[in-house]
Structure 1
Amino acid sequence: MSPTRSADRVTPRTRARRRAATRLGAVTVALGLVGSLLTACSGGSTDAAQPSGKPGGVVIGAVSNGAANQIDVTVPQVDSIRNALPAAVRDSGELSIGIGALPSGYPPLAFIGSDQHTLTGAEPDLGRLVAAVLGLTPVITNATWENLFVGIDSGRTDVGFSNITVTEERKEKYDFATYRKDEIAFEVLKASSWNFDGNYESLAGKKVAVGSGTNQERLLLEWRDKLTAEGKTLDVVYFPDANSINLALASGKIDAYLAPNPSISYHVRQTAGTPKATRVAGTYSGAGSTLQGLIAATTKKGDELVGPLADAINHLITTGVYAKWLAAWNLSAEAVPTSQVNPPGLPRNDS
């Protein structure tokens, strides 16, 4: 089934995109029916994002089932930023936002809400906030990670808000407006006194779980090798799934779990108030020690949309809405001071 979208108005631009989305949906069905139920209810709901009778109103954390602290904010249109938009986007009245969260979603960043319809999460919420600054109706499409980029490449999607890391390879095809740090985090029991201060030596003697084949595993193994050379130990352990890791942490079989900060922050919120509550014991750049990894809004290169997007994000930063958005989703550790256009990205060998 095709990715689904919702909007308050239908324009020629929307109709063309919907015809293209239908063709893409046919290909998706031909490839298989995995995740079809989620696809059927994956469209973002503008009703939940923009309450009736409240121009510029956005509900952050709507229908999140406790993943976020829901708050209402008002984000007035900024004419100077809107006027800088490409004419085709401005005149359409819509901002087509792509999310790559199929088939199962990835809370707290993007997932189907408790109403079984609305695409909620930190990423679609930021897209809705940016659209409000631009005076546009957010039209959100949920697709697979691969089809997210197909949508951007084809022009069906104006911008991707989907935890996309800036890399030098991607910069050849896309423009980026940054909005979060790309961080990994250590999760420990709340009762633990251990903290990671950015120095690998603090890991000596610890037993740490990590996902196989991940960027954080690469960093952890590098730290283990350094400690081994110093005559110290770091026990890196693996488990088949997240539930097994959580049980190991709760039982004391491991000292910490290293994973992307959003997933750690989500689990910390889930365990709050329980006998085995956890906390974040430290974060580190997902790009390693030489570069701060950055997550960015992603557009087709040269389409002249990235500048207004960065301006809109910077407006949200200066007005304090950005900080409220991050805090609502427990992601304040990933705040950036400003949105940058096409900053240095992960080098090709790390992309």
Structure 2
Amino acid sequence: MFHAPARTRRRLPLTGVVTALALTLAAAGCADPKESEHAGGNPAASQPGSTPVTAAKPTANPAVVALVPQKYRSKGELVLATNAPYPPLEFFEDDNKTLTGFDIDLGNAIAVTMGLKPQWQNTGFDAIIPGLQAGKYDVGMTGFSIERERLEVMDFVSYYLSGGGFMIKKGSGIEVNSFDQLCGYRVAVQKGVSQVESLTEASKACGAKGAKPIDILQIPDQNVVVLTLASGRADVVVGDKPQVEYAASRSDGKMCVIGTYQTGHSIAGIAVPKGNPQLLAALQAAIDSLIKSGDYAKIAARWGTGVADPGATLSEDYGKVSAPWGVGPDGTIIHAKTFTDPNEIQPGHTYYNQPIKKGCA
């Protein structure tokens, strides 16, 4: 386990990884960028040689509808705040207006299960929680990690397990699955994200033990981060787990996530203003209904936010951390959980590194 500096992790909005892969594939002359998921349709099904993903078809669940507070049933809609672009969770289709992604599909399914019409509002990441407190939105759904600090002002309903990861060129021979193994490598990372501080601390540790420091390449745009690896100007990319896994899945097998990690707050949740237990219960029941029906798994499979590899398991240490969150041993969500008490989440940042992926390096 790698102990990162104790500070609040702020998930900054990222630019489209999809654009990066379009640039990468065009540069490599191996695919037509117009055939990306931005062209519409099922992104997973558009992968060469992939198995088409069955579309989810959620319907209203009377038992869930009965839990929905009257104020929402009366207006007939659920207003969800999000922050695009942040693929694969939320980003825009080619018209730059239509939202798509894992959060969007799942949020739509949750609203339908509750008997409501989803109404999305795209806004600044830092404006979502104040907007919820002011009553502008009903819930916030944008890959929020459930943190102690956030639980002081918001309640949450869990819906997927996130974390981070290390992406390499497939066959490069580089085997890393923790920050302290990056000594001497050129590591591309988006400027301003939490991994920058962890890389800086790890680089200092490299020097202290006589190893070469990490060459940290801070890049403002996430699409350029990915292109830097694809073009050979970086050895490793470090990023949030959904982003690196999605980028690798769109690389025509040229890039690979060699290792992933979780933290003490890698569980992601839907934000709900304090003092709304009925809405919390309805959201929780809606997610559990989608898990039971199989629609949740279909949505996760479409966007690659489920388990990366069949048969993968979490480490024993992290299993003890995540099991109380309703997370199974393979990292899937078995049932949603409501979070209202800051003490339910570990303080600080401890990284739990998963085994290196075989056949990647």
Whole-angstrom distance in 2 between the partners of 1:65 and 1:222: 42
The equivalent position to 1:117 in structure 2, one of 78, 90, 97, is: 97
The equivalent position to 1:278 in structure 2, one of 252, 255, 259, is: 255
Query: Which amino acid counterpart does residue 139 of structure 1 have in structure 2?
Result: Q
Quote the sequence identity (%).
29
Checking the alignment, whether the CA contact within 8 Å between 1:178 and 1:296 is kept in structure 2 is yes
- 1:82 counterpart residue number: 65
- 1:301 counterpart residue number: 274
Shift of 1:234: 4.3
- 1:218 counterpart residue number: 197
- 2:313 counterpart residue number: none
- 1:315 counterpart residue number: 289
Whole-angstrom distance in 2 between the partners of 1:349 and 1:265: 22
Checking the alignment, whether the CA contact within 8 Å between 1:221 and 1:236 is kept in structure 2 is no
Checking the alignment, whether the CA contact within 8 Å between 2:143 and 2:269 is kept in structure 1 is yes
CA distance 1:183–1:270, change in 2 (3 Å): same
Q: Alpha-carbon deviations, 1:42-72, whole Å to 9, x = none? A: xxxxxxxxxxxxxxxxxxx896477554752
Whole-angstrom distance in 2 between the partners of 1:328 and 1:141: 23
Checking the alignment, whether the CA contact within 8 Å between 1:181 and 1:292 is kept in structure 2 is no
Shift of 1:231: 3.0
Whole-angstrom distance in 2 between the partners of 1:339 and 1:321: 14
Whole-angstrom distance in 2 between the partners of 1:143 and 1:231: 46
CA distance 1:129–1:165, change in 2 (3 Å): same
Whole-angstrom distance in 2 between the partners of 1:163 and 1:213: 17
Shift of 1:243: 4.9
Checking the alignment, whether the CA contact within 8 Å between 2:206 and 2:214 is kept in structure 1 is no
Query: Which amino acid counterpart does residue 122 of structure 1 have in structure 2?
Result: F
- 2:335 counterpart residue number: 338
Which segment drifts farther, 172-181 or 200-209? Answer: 200-209
Which runs of 5 or more structure 1 residues have no equivalent in the other structure?
Answer: 1-60
Checking the alignment, whether the CA contact within 8 Å between 2:167 and 2:255 is kept in structure 1 is yes
Query: Which amino acid counterpart does residue 171 of structure 1 have in structure 2?
Result: L
Q: CA RMSD in A?
A: 2.8
Whole-angstrom distance in 2 between the partners of 1:176 and 1:143: 19
Q: Tell me the TM-score normalized by structure 1.
A: 0.70
1:232 aligns with 2:211: yes
Shift of 1:210: 2.1
CA distance 1:63–1:126, change in 2 (3 Å): farther
SS at match of 2:148: coil
Shift of 1:115: 4.3
Q: Alpha-carbon deviations, 1:68-111, whole Å to 9, x = none? A: 5475222232222221121211333211111122xxx2222212
Whole-angstrom distance in 2 between the partners of 1:89 and 1:204: 53
Q: Tell me the TM-score normalized by structure 2.
A: 0.68
Checking the alignment, whether the CA contact within 8 Å between 1:100 and 1:146 is kept in structure 2 is no
Q: How many residues align?
A: 279
- 2:141 counterpart residue number: 161
Whole-angstrom distance in 2 between the partners of 1:319 and 1:234: 50
1:196 aligns with 2:176: yes
Checking the alignment, whether the CA contact within 8 Å between 2:229 and 2:235 is kept in structure 1 is yes
Whole-angstrom distance in 2 between the partners of 1:68 and 1:191: 23
Whole-angstrom distance in 2 between the partners of 1:318 and 1:234: 48
Whole-angstrom distance in 1 between the partners of 2:42 and 2:296: 20
